[in-house]
Amino acid sequence: MKHGIFLGLSTIDIINYVSHYPLKNEKLKVNKQLYFAGGPATNAAIAFASFGNKCTLITGMGNHPVTGLAKKDIKSHNVELKVPEIEVVDTLGSGDIFHGAFCHFILQDNDFIKSLEKATQIAGLSCTFYGTRKWIEKIQDFR
């Protein structure tokens, strides 16, 4: 069994079934509504796990009540979910910061899993500040 680690966007997909395509300014009653966890990383992780592989998804979730629906759906597909607990102020550049931090840590440690974990911490830290550089003042905590 292989172990895949997926890092990225998670969403809630809400699908509304209606009797016909609405006309301009027409209101329709929904016949059926479905909720699923979605997003590129989530869908890739669930597909990978569906083949019997061990799978971890590292993603942001937020605090909205429907977050519980996404978590339940993801876990029901045997995907281990890791959601960093941070107070988000600004996500600008966090993906780019993750990539730069990952490159640094993989060259230092040559340990893929530890490098992912450390880069995720750095990207999370960057989300607790406005802008893309203020987090650098706290980098000594990770050296």
Q: Which residues contact 64 (CB under 8 A, 6 or more apart)?
A: none
Share of the chain above pLDDT 70, in %: 99
Q: In the chain, what is the greatest distance between 2 CA atoms, to the nearest angstrom?
A: 59
Domain ranges in the chain are 1-15+31-83, 86-143
Length of the chain as a residue count: 143
**5, pLDDT greater than 80:** yes
CATH for the stretch 1-15+31-83: 3.50.50.60
| 30 band by pLDDT with thresholds 50, 70 and 90 | very high
Q: What is the pTM of this model?
A: 0.72
| 83 CB-side CA count, 13 A | 18
pLDDT for the residue 107? 96
Q: What is the C-alpha to C-alpha distance for residues 90 and 126, in angstroms, rounded to an integer?
A: 8
